[in-house]
């Protein structure tokens, strides 16, 4: 992918992905990185409030709808992430240095898995694109890939360093 380096933070519902991203953003910013965040959901959510002008534009068939205020701009594109998100991220290299995508298990980005006992099997056991696991468990379950990097949930500084290095590697590959 061209544009800023990006990584998906994946895991089962309720394992702490949002909390981790919330903690990583200021840590990465403290390292001098401009951080972009994308929330990916497999659930349907209305992008525009019912009856709003932007909902009317969307209903009318607009391919792109932007809502601009003095506080910022929100864009929505009526395409699946595979088709719209990656090209959109490519355009934001002048705005951000790294992008954290919460979710998007099946997307093409390298992944960090947040895993907790009792919330489902370790996804990294079945996926070669998971680079590291963040977990509060004393050990990963049987079947975890050999040599898989592991971080405790409190190791935000170490994880930020890992992401910074990953971002630099991705930037050099582009």
Domains delineated in the chain: 6-43+78-173 (3.40.50.300)
Q: In the sheet that 35-39 helps form, which strands lie side by side, from edge to edge?
A: 35-39, 98-102, 6-10, 111-115, 130-135, 149-151
pLDDT of 13 higher than 80:
yes
3-state secondary structure 19-86: HHHHHHHHHHHHCCCCEEEEECCCCCCCCCCCCCHHHHHHHCCCCEEEEEECCEEEEEECCCHHHHHH
What integer best gives the mean pLDDT of the chain? 87
pLDDT of 46 higher than 60:
no
Q: Which residues pair with 112 in a beta bridge?
A: 9, 132
pLDDT of 94 higher than 70:
yes
Q: Are 105 and 123 in contact (CB under 8 A)?
A: yes
Tell me the backbone φ, ψ of residue 72, rounded to 5 degrees. Answer: 155, -170
Res 112: pLDDT? 97
Instruction: Give 139-168 pLDDT, tens digit per residue.
Output: 999 889 988 999 999 999 999 999 999 888
- Average pLDDT on 25-40 reads 91
Q: Are 84 and 76 in contact (CB under 8 A)?
A: no
Res 47: pLDDT? 64
Res 48: pLDDT? 66
Res 92: pLDDT? 80
**Listed residue (38, 33, 51, 54) closest to 1, CA to CA:** 38
Rounded distance, CA 133 to CA 55, Å?
39
Beta strand 130-135 with 64-69: parallel, antiparallel or unpaired? unpaired
- Average pLDDT on 114-138 reads 95
Predicted confidence band at 41 (pLDDT cuts at 50, 70, 90)? low
Q: 88 versus 101: which is more confidently predicted?
A: 101
Q: How far is CA 57 from CA 23, 72, 95, 137, in A?
A: 36, 19, 27, 48
Res 161: pLDDT? 95
pLDDT of 73 higher than 90:
no
Predicted confidence band at 102 (pLDDT cuts at 50, 70, 90)? very high
Res 88: pLDDT? 79
Res 35: pLDDT? 94
Q: 104 versus 84: which is more confidently predicted?
A: 104
Rounded distance, CA 24 to CA 5, Å?
15
Q: Are 114 and 11 in contact (CB under 8 A)?
A: yes
């Amino acid at each position: 992918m061209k544009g800023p380096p990006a990584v998906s933070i994946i895991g089962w519902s309720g394992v702490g992905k949002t909390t981790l991203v919330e903690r990583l953003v200021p840590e990465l910013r403290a390292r001098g990185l401009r951080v972009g965040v994308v929330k990916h959901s497999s659930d349907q959510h209305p992008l525009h409030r019912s009856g709003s002008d932007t909902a009317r534009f969307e209903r009318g068939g607009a391919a792109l709808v932007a809502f601009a205020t003095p506080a910022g701009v929100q864009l929505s594109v009526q395409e699946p992430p595979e088709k719209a998100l990656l090209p959109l991220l490519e355009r934001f290299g002048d705005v951000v240095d790294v992008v954290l995508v919460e979710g998007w298990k099946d997307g093409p980005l390298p992944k960090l898995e947040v895993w907790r006992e009792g919330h489902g099997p370790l996804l990294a056991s079945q996926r070669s694109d998971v680079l590291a696991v963040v977990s509060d468990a004393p050990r990963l379950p049987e079947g975890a890939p050999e040599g898989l990097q592991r971080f405790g949930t409190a190791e935000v500084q170490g994880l930020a360093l890992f992401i910074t290095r990953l971002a630099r590697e991705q930037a050099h590959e582009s």
